[in-house]
Structure 1
């Protein structure tokens, strides 16, 4: 047996009072919160000013407080090896600094100028308190056979994040030691992450600055008025300032990646736009059907209460869903990923809190002035006194009529529209079956950066596997057996002893292949099985390999949780197993199609010339997991906006077809406008110089575009059309278990 809910045929009918007479609505839950906020602007503003002052005091320190490392599997063997090396071998592990000195005129030993440069390099490194020891170039180890390239090594006296900061500080002073014939380049893992963070952070900031004018234009067009268009920016600034301050506070507990701020900024803008659009559209509608007049504060408060009881409830569920989606990233045992997820979650909490309190307070104060500074179409009514109930209607009518006609078309041709959308998604998703992932190679760092120049000099002088030298820690009694095992492995070109201490011996094993090559990962896995018991294999290449394996292992778990938790939240919100299932599964379709496009562009190199990048032959290993969680949260926004409106209309009228068309008419424009802004913002990242922002921008833009167009505006309405009443039914036993969530006022 199944159950369904129907009520009055008037979608705007007010609830009856206890004695059956019609009366004012009795506010409950979010509606009561909205009414209180709308009536107490001063208190709400004062509370938010206290919050912003508290977090804002820390926000200016965010750029210097955040960390540049943390891209590791904290529980991996390679990180264990690094810890041992840090303690017992003067920090000569993966975070040690390497300065490559190359003499273009001949052997360094015969050039007094080159020897002076090496002495100056050693002096500069020794003067830095973050350096534990400095090792001069040694023949056969760090001096090339032709004598023209030497490596000065500096042990790490501090943790990985501090050594990235050391690389930040030392790159320029060391580069200034170069002459017209002698180059000096700081390289190594810490320097690579330093250059990676600086270049990409700068590119993302430029992209965000570039995106603001585009965002403002789209916002004005979407909201139809200058005043309304400013509301998302208010939410964005509140979310960003609060998140920035909270991230600085969080650094006192654990390191926080500098990338956390970038993603927090991105989500603060995205959700600020989404939530403000949804609330403002519904608030305007509530004002309109109440016939609100300028200065009528009571009607404005009632309109806010109605809006919060319907759209506000959908936004609350959406925010919880986004937080749950992002929390799955915390399963990855990597400080960088966890802190990036934390940054986004902090911005979500701040934007959600401001949406449910500050925005209603401002709307209640604005009343009909929400449409001040509105865009006027030619021929619109400009007569005094006509703007109160019709301003905004003129601007909205075109889009809403278009959405209504689109709903009617889907009603007449559901099979054709659904088949077309599925065909497009399937065609774009097909390449994902051949998707390869891997950790970023040296090619993601621009050629003019010191770390890449030094990396290439090491490769040319010592072999392609030299930058990925493995550090093997083995019990001293087993050192001979370990050297023999390494010598007989086909993936190891050479083995060099690097010292012994506290019953352990360290060996340097140089692979035959590049540090980021799949063959190097296979070599690491193989020698771990061949080395004596108790041995550890570390080094930058091993840390990247271990992180890639952790990401591959956690990605299926994360997606399983995203599907399961997403289904549960939609089931609670909408009360329909069928709609919850469809809403959750369709998220995967747009994500799959986006990664199919990513495979063609970034894996196969199509459009690499147009977009200006060098293909690595794969997509970065962290993209499916991290972007999958982000996109699931964004997709759930659109799903809840559309389906909560349909649920509201169905509960009010009992007509599933009317509910589908009305949901498209009222919420379709929100989905289109929000997606338009997000696609425009994400595409600006695709114009950035470095590869990482390009990859992020293309994947996110394609996914959001396909989700809005193919899923929310075609497939979900088609499912509602074809299933009719069945879409909103639930087994009797389930209906008794689920909470009674209603989106009607």
Structure 2
């Protein structure tokens, strides 16, 4: 692989004009496709195999035209103190709102009068107007959404308390200025790392081009593939981080090759052949982990993973081709002025005096047991909150208390009971019964006797009379354990009655769907974790030709992931430091967040493992002792890995300012996970473990050595004379082209 990438790097460097032009054209085509593509619709949230999804599909089939997936809104009214909502004046004001809502948009399907629909609380203080739309929430036009909001605002002039809830107010999530700050931090880190504005700008430019292509492609295909807006945000988050890091590693190795006196084209080829090999492997692990999310069998999660994986693939290709091409344009300006003047004495790359990485490695080697215990115990303590992990999906109850959605949620809870915001839809399929009417009546009667129910509506039959819908209102809030137990009780009761009635009972609705999603993801988390950890172990055995190094890497990955989950629970579920991170409302952790974070962190953890440890193995196989190999790896790689980790943390942390709760939570979780994995696991625990293992770390049974392929990720084959000579063909200053270098314009 190193030999092929070496040739690719030299080609991209030599034909830099052509390569750069191709990427610019590709960016333009992707941008044009995105601009002309129809707007994305709402992501179809289906959970194959769950009872809630089966019930939803059944109702769609038996009750056609109900627009079960259409947007809904509830305009909630509360009378002033001492008044009733049914007072003549209040009643007239509310019916005026009903009339206005009916004519507010062509997308409105129906508006229910609360006084005929029995949507008034028992104490007469609260009522609500239900609004149904023909389209999903993401297909609502801005005019429709604005009309709904203005109607509610205008109704307040009557003296009533008026708040609006429901998914009709769901807007496209916004990320704010946080990610811009993250990119700014990345730029500062790159300038400090390279000492050159040109070198600092190159990874940023290539990463933005890669993300631009990836996100534009997602936008162009969003309508066709049913991709939601969150998909592109997450792809941008991951693509930007890995894009900067992959370019950083290739550019850093290129500068190191220049420091050894190689000609620029030769240095570019070797940089792509060595660091590029690590980029390919690291990118492959991220892609496999993201695509592997498909095993959970949740279409939305699969699409998010595949879209993000596509953006990562683009980032890898950019690092292997566009980065060496731009290095050719940059000439010797990839080095700072001082570095260009003092190139022969470059201590960082040539191994002269000890740098910070060398000093840190020797510090850890002097006291490996103490460092290992401190790191493991520290992460273990942070991981403790993960034992209280609760999964769920957001509703209006998880909105900040300042929003009208949350205020409407609280008004309904106070006026109609805590379970009113999460009613259960019970579908009774009596098609196989001899007497469907009697079967449904008996089923509803038995369900009504269960504990935990506030109200049960009369059954509503379809035209064929063989299927009925029943709404059950729990006496507990949607996200509570008591509501979850009620769902299971209804299902168990239906199963017990089926033999006698012939009716099949299914429970659906947003609350039941949330419960089923959380359960499915809970069940899938450990198998998926085992899959990615097992995959990491196998791939690292191929890369490092060792058993203990992959084992150490896999265990370290588990430790960093669990610690990151503990931090997420502490902040978003318990509310610790919530004000610092903009968490206005605590609640269960998003159901998809842990498994998505596992997939992403797996790939990122392997990035640092590969980039740091390959240098160690390279030194060891060329004669250095096990301890000195660790020091050599840190001397060459610590500064770059530190910069890469800081950049990723900054980029991910920038998404904490998102208005989308899941994006905010994933941004925080990934930032924390990168910090733990890079600075605690890879740069602290790893050298401690390798020091304790000594030569045993790099041993491999002979029979396994014969079976495993040799991918040459360190680029050993490039040391052969046929792939260039380490003796410089000309100095860096001589090889750097002048501004009028003909190769820049001709592509030769």
Structure-2-length-normalised TM-score: 0.86
8 A Cα contact 1:59 1:241, kept in partner: no
Describe the shift of the 1:635–1:509 C-alpha distance in structure 2 as closer, same or farther (beyond 3 A).
same
2: CA distance, partners of 1:410 / 1:154: 64
8 A Cα contact 2:164 2:405, kept in partner: yes
Shift of 1:666: 0.9
Describe the shift of the 1:574–1:486 C-alpha distance in structure 2 as closer, same or farther (beyond 3 A).
same
Q: Quick one: which of 433, 438, 449 aligns to 2:392?
A: 438
In the alignment, which residue of structure 1 is the partner of 2:201? Answer: 230
8 A Cα contact 2:179 2:654, kept in partner: yes
Of stretches 252-261 and 465-474 in structure 1, the one that deviates more from structure 2 is 252-261
8 A Cα contact 1:246 1:346, kept in partner: no
1: CA distance, partners of 2:310 / 2:582: 34
Q: Secondary structure at the match of 2:119?
A: coil
Q: Secondary structure at the match of 2:3?
A: coil
Q: Secondary structure at the match of 1:178?
A: helix
In the alignment, which residue of structure 2 is the partner of 1:513? Answer: 476
In the alignment, which residue of structure 2 is the partner of 1:187? Answer: 165
8 A Cα contact 1:39 1:301, kept in partner: yes
Q: Quick one: which of 320, 324, 331 aligns to 1:360?
A: 324
8 A Cα contact 1:67 1:255, kept in partner: yes
Q: Quick one: which of 245, 253, 270 aligns to 1:282?
A: 253
Shift of 1:728: 2.0
2: CA distance, partners of 1:463 / 1:423: 45
2: CA distance, partners of 1:553 / 1:170: 43
**Deviation by residue 1:43-86 (Cα, 9 ceiling, x = unmatched):** 21122122112211133468x73344545524422233334444
> 1:50 aligned to 2:16?
no
Shift of 1:559: 0.6
Shift of 1:513: 0.5
8 A Cα contact 2:400 2:584, kept in partner: no
In the alignment, which residue of structure 2 is the partner of 1:22? Answer: none
- Unaligned runs of at least 5 residues, structure 1: 1-25, 293-298
Q: Quick one: which of 381, 386, 404 aligns to 2:341?
A: 386
Shift of 1:288: 0.9
In the alignment, which residue of structure 1 is the partner of 2:300? Answer: 336
Aligned length in residues = 695
8 A Cα contact 1:257 1:339, kept in partner: no
Alignment of 1:228-377 (within 5 A): 228-290=199-261, 299-372=263-336
Q: Secondary structure at the match of 1:153?
A: strand
Of stretches 331-340 and 484-493 in structure 1, the one that deviates more from structure 2 is 331-340
Q: Secondary structure at the match of 2:260?
A: helix
Shift of 1:37: 0.7
2: CA distance, partners of 1:615 / 1:149: 25
Shift of 1:316: 0.4
Describe the shift of the 1:267–1:471 C-alpha distance in structure 2 as closer, same or farther (beyond 3 A).
same
1: CA distance, partners of 2:703 / 2:423: 62
In the alignment, which residue of structure 2 is the partner of 1:462? Answer: 416
In the alignment, which residue of structure 2 is the partner of 1:663? Answer: 633
1: CA distance, partners of 2:602 / 2:41: 27
**Deviation by residue 1:5-56 (Cα, 9 ceiling, x = unmatched):** xxxxxxxxxxxxxxxxxxxxx9821111111111100121122122112211
Of stretches 225-234 and 51-60 in structure 1, the one that deviates more from structure 2 is 51-60
Alignment of 1:705-720 (within 5 A): 705-720=675-690
8 A Cα contact 2:260 2:350, kept in partner: no
Describe the shift of the 1:471–1:61 C-alpha distance in structure 2 as closer, same or farther (beyond 3 A).
farther
Describe the shift of the 1:399–1:678 C-alpha distance in structure 2 as closer, same or farther (beyond 3 A).
farther
Q: Quick one: which of 468, 479, 483 aligns to 2:444?
A: 483
Structure-1-length-normalised TM-score: 0.86
2: CA distance, partners of 1:232 / 1:540: 44
Shift of 1:264: 1.5
Shift of 1:537: 1.2
2: CA distance, partners of 1:634 / 1:315: 11
2: CA distance, partners of 1:427 / 1:210: 31
8 A Cα contact 1:91 1:132, kept in partner: no
In the alignment, which residue of structure 2 is the partner of 1:13? Answer: none
2: CA distance, partners of 1:407 / 1:394: 15
Q: Quick one: which of 689, 692, 700 aligns to 1:722?
A: 692
In the alignment, which residue of structure 2 is the partner of 1:554? Answer: 524
Q: Secondary structure at the match of 1:608?
A: coil
- Unaligned runs of at least 5 residues, structure 2: 431-435, 719-748
2: CA distance, partners of 1:399 / 1:632: 35
In the alignment, which residue of structure 2 is the partner of 1:4? Answer: none
Q: Quick one: which of 65, 69, 72 aligns to 1:97?
A: 72
8 A Cα contact 1:102 1:184, kept in partner: yes
2: CA distance, partners of 1:90 / 1:387: 76
Q: Quick one: which of 77, 90, 101 aligns to 1:124?
A: 101
What value does the CA root-mean-square deviation take over the aligned residues?
3.0
Q: Secondary structure at the match of 2:411?
A: helix
Shift of 1:320: 0.2
In the alignment, which residue of structure 1 is the partner of 2:507? Answer: 537
Shift of 1:620: 3.0
Describe the shift of the 1:185–1:430 C-alpha distance in structure 2 as closer, same or farther (beyond 3 A).
closer
1: CA distance, partners of 2:459 / 2:96: 22
